[in-house]
Amino acid sequence: MDILLKARGIGKLTSRNPDRYLFRDVSAGVGEGRRIVLLGASGQGKSTLLRIFARLDAADAGELELLGRPASQWKPQQWRQQVLYVAQQPVMLTGTVGDNLRTASILHGRPFDEPLAEQLMDELGLGGIAWDKTADELSGGEKQRVALVRSLLLKPKLLLLDETTASLDPASKAAAERLLLEWSRREGSAQLWITHDLSQAREVGEEVWFLEGGRLLEKTSAERFFDKPATGEARRFVQAAADARQGV
Ligand SMILES: Nc1ncnc2c1ncn2[C@@H]1O[C@H](COP(=O)(O)OP(=O)(O)OP(=O)(O)O)[C@@H](O)[C@H]1O
């Protein structure tokens, strides 16, 4: 498996205290077409790490490489076409639903694949939404799904999914998971998910990265992470989630 994105020694200082790292020494590789889940408690810096991978935020240490070329050799916009961050809080651009769906093709000068946009909207249960509706009038869950379709239409090599299904009702969440799994198989694109839902993590993840105490403590197969975590921290994390589910 070729490595698509490589991180070497990535660190981010805390904004409050420039002597302290939020996380450091993050070295890992995203394989082509691989589905990885990034787990860890709130506030560990998972979103920040994904934003660094998408070059929406700068690292304070370390280097990134995409397709074997260091970040310095990529124009940020070209990098972001390939490594696309889907934000936790969806941002709708001014205009209609159709305008939002066409954004990527306009920005990147590619033809708009309308049949694909229709198909993706349908698969996410948005087939009934008029494309001339003002995007800002959509519900939060609708915005989240339109933002996802908008991202998929760009066909990035790596999708960074930051709690993308967290605000969806159970049926829409299942539809989004199905679509993303199918998409990764069909398009061969890689996905790096942040989720707090461990059953979703088992469902979608081939690999798990576990961030705690400012370090990427585990990088392993999903099966191994859930059945036999190597560190006490991961064991406690998995156990606490299981206890919470059972109301212990
Ligand atoms: N330089 C920094 N950049 C971003 N966040 C920082 C920084 N320094 C400190 N922080 C704090 O660290 C935390 C990082 O937030 P982030 O959203 O990345 O974590 P997370 O693990 O994704 O959390 P959640 O699971 O709750 O979404 C926040 O509490 C933020 O205020």
Tens digits of residue pLDDT in 7-29: 999 999 999 988 999 999 999 99
Confidence of residue 90 (pLDDT cuts 50, 70, 90): confident
With cut-offs at 50, 70 and 90, classify the pLDDT of residue 134: very high
Mapping DSSP to helix (H, G, I), strand (E, B) and coil, where does residue 19 land?
A: coil
Pocket test for ligand 1, best of 12, 14, 37, 195 (most atoms within 8 A of CB): 14
- DSSP characters over 172-193: HHHHHHHHHHHHHHHH--EEEE
Cα(49) to centroid of ligand 1, in Å? 9
Please count the structural domains in the chain.
1
Which residues have CB under 8 Å from 215's CB, separation 6+? Answer: 23, 24, 25, 26
CA dihedral 47, 52, 58, 63 (to 10 degrees): 140
Residue partners of 114: CB distance under 8 A and separation at least 6: none
Range of the structural domain that residue 70 is part of: 3-245
CATH number reported for the structural domain that contains residue 231 in this entry: 3.40.50.300
Ligand 1-lining residues (CB < 6 angstroms): 12-15, 22, 40, 42-48
pLDDT tens, 71-87?
Answer: 999 999 899 999 999 98
